[in-house]
Amino acid sequence: MLKKAVMLSVVCCVAFFSFGCAKKLSKDEMIERGKYLVNACGVLAHHTPMGKDGKPDLNKFMAGSETPYKGAWGVSYAKNLTPDNDTGIGMMTDEEVINMIKDEGINGKAPLCYDYYRGLTDEDLKSLVSYLRTLTPITNKIPADTKPGEVKTPEKKAEPKKAVTKKAATKKTTKKK
């Protein structure tokens, strides 16, 4: 079943890319084209975390996933593609996002998806980014990728501070007398 879905996505992408667009697209047309590309190329499946029911958690639509993809490239994680300024693409220029997509594929960092993107035209990539900019920003920090042999050091979490109650503060001052 999954194999058929992947093949259908590939066929749709090839057919769509083959016919292309002859005219310059308006902003709204670029957004619609970008939405189509996201859905046709399987971006949703990788960049939206799965819920407990095994279906994409649409409350975190395109916010990245902590599911690791392991292979010869090391370990990679699907990035947060929402326009969130802290954990997504919000602070990146369109050119930086496009270069990130190209770089991920060229450097073998996109183990599952690069075949979908290598045929994209500049107009396709601009459309894809235009669509991503319309999404709801979602803060969702994704682990950093690691290269082969690289050891990931766990982030240290701040120790919770114990609240000092009025009663405890009174005991401390009482003992000093």
The pTM (predicted TM-score) of the whole model is 0.68
Using a pLDDT cut of 70, give the percent of the chain over it. Answer: 65
What confidence tier does 113 reach under pLDDT thresholds 50, 70, 90? Answer: low
SS3 152: coil
Output 26 or 44, whichever has higher pLDDT.
26
What confidence tier does 158 reach under pLDDT thresholds 50, 70, 90? Answer: very low
Residue 101 pLDDT: 81
What are the percentages of helix, strand and coil residues in the chain, rounded to 5?
A: 45, 5, 50
pLDDT at 28 over 90: yes
Tell me the H-state helices in 20-155. Answer: 27-40, 43-47, 94-106, 114-117, 122-132
Residue 165 pLDDT: 42
Instruction: With beta carbons less than 8 A apart as the criterion, state whether 68 and 76 touch.
Output: yes
What confidence tier does 2 reach under pLDDT thresholds 50, 70, 90? Answer: very low
Output 98 or 21, whichever has higher pLDDT.
98
Across 94-103, 110-119, 149-158, the highest mean pLDDT is recorded for: 94-103
pLDDT at 160 over 50: no
Strand partners, 74: 71
Instruction: With beta carbons less than 8 A apart as the criterion, state whether 83 and 135 touch.
Output: yes
Strand partners, 146: 75
Q: How far apart, in Å, are the Cα atoms of 150 and each of 58, 74, 110, 145?
A: 32, 8, 18, 10
